[in-house]
Amino acid sequence: MVCHVTEIALELDIQNASATPDLPGYEQFHRWAAAALAGRRTSAQLSIRLVDESEGADLNRRFRGKCGATNVLSFPYEPLPGMVDSDLIGDLVICAPLVVREARAQGTPLAAHWAHLVVHGVLHLLGYDHADTTEAIAMEGLERHLLLGLGFTAPYEDK
């Protein structure tokens, strides 16, 4: 099944602060983010910052209190009281060299892993979580559905 993403007004800013070669292009990031937003938003603004491990580790320590880089960090936009709603949903930070290593270790095609992390991160920006078993089952099911719709194999399946 191939997903035909409903048109969404998506303003996407890609910031490349990584030395990792052969990163996905803007169109790929846009397609993956739009798929996660489809049916959930009609318009959105978000940034995706691609970082190396030092910046990823620093952000993970500062904002999550955890050592080392993680593959994706989500920073949802939270308007201050009294502010008008906007299309801004937040920022994603993706550690590019970690994505490459994880894909190799999992035997997953690189584009599929990138797509999964973008979808996963955007769902976090929309309020989805996996903090408990019920939330994890729901979020992982949605991720499987979206990745299959994008033409990738379902994540979380045994290889």
pLDDT, tens digit, 9 for 90 and up, residues 42-74: 999 999 999 999 999 999 999 999 999 999 999
In DSSP terms, 95 is beta-bridged to 51
40 assigned to some structural domain: yes
Q: What's the token pair of residue 152?
A: 């990738």
Res 159: pLDDT: 47
User: What's the CATH code of the domain at 66?
Assistant: 3.40.390.30
Res 6: pLDDT: 57
Residue 102 contacts residue 92 (beta carbons within 8 Å): no
% of the chain residues with pLDDT over 70: 94
14 assigned to some structural domain: yes
37 assigned to some structural domain: yes
> What domain range includes position 134?
9-149
pLDDT of residue 35 exceeding 50, the answer is yes
Q: What's the token pair of residue 64?
A: 């999550």
159 assigned to some structural domain: no
pLDDT of residue 78 exceeding 70, the answer is yes
d(CA 114, CA 99): 7
Res 156: pLDDT: 77
158 assigned to some structural domain: no
Reported confidence tier of residue 158, pLDDT bands at 50, 70, 90: low
154 assigned to some structural domain: no
DSSP string, 50-106: EE-HHHHHHHHHHHH--SS--SEEEEE--PPTTPPP-SEEEEEEEEHHHHHHHHHHH
Which of 59-63, 131-135, 145-149 has the lowest average pLDDT?
131-135
Q: What is the mean pLDDT of residues 7-15?
A: 94
156 assigned to some structural domain: no
127 assigned to some structural domain: yes
**What is the pTM (predicted TM-score) of this model?**
0.92
Structural domain count of the chain: 1
Q: What is the mean pLDDT of residues 121-147?
A: 94
